[in-house]
Amino acid sequence: MPSVIKLKSGQCETVFDLDGLLYLVEQHMGDEARRLLEDFTAPEDDAAEYIDSLEKENKRLRDHHHEVMEDLRAQSETIARLIQKPEIDRSALSTVAGIIGRTTWREINVG
């Protein structure tokens, strides 16, 4: 969201983002002040590493979730095929239900 800043000179400037503020600081206070402000607003190395690790973990979890959902879909398709047959193979149906039960238990309790 843009902000209007009134300078000591009485001039009003609209700042849309950090780059705009840095530009104003450089114009009115010099390059050293701009670099100092950039240093103050730069993310900490630890923070950047932490964010990177969170992003990697999030991707791993998304990939895992996608894999589990594909497995569950395949098992549900197997159930659909089994119940369409004239005679239900209770043993095969029980096996598939067991697989689904183990998969969901593992996701709920182990993660």
101 and 81: one domain? yes
49 and 36: one domain? no
Distance (Å, whole) CA 104 – CA 111 = 10
Give the domain extent around 33: 3-41
The most distant pair of C-alpha atoms in the chain lies apart, rounded to whole Å, by 89
Q: b/e for 21-46, b at 16 or more Cβ within 10 A?
A: bbebbbeeeeeeebeebeeeeeeeee
Say if residues 40 and 46 touch (Cβ distance below 8 Å). Answer: no
37 and 50: one domain? no
Q: Report the domain count for the chain.
A: 2
- 111 residues of the chain, pLDDT tens digit each: 889 999 889 999 999 999 999 999 999 899 999 999 998 888 777 777 888 899 999 999 999 999 999 999 999 999 999 999 999 899 999 999 999 999 999 998 886
35 and 54: one domain? no
Distance (Å, whole) CA 76 – CA 97 = 9
35 and 58: one domain? no
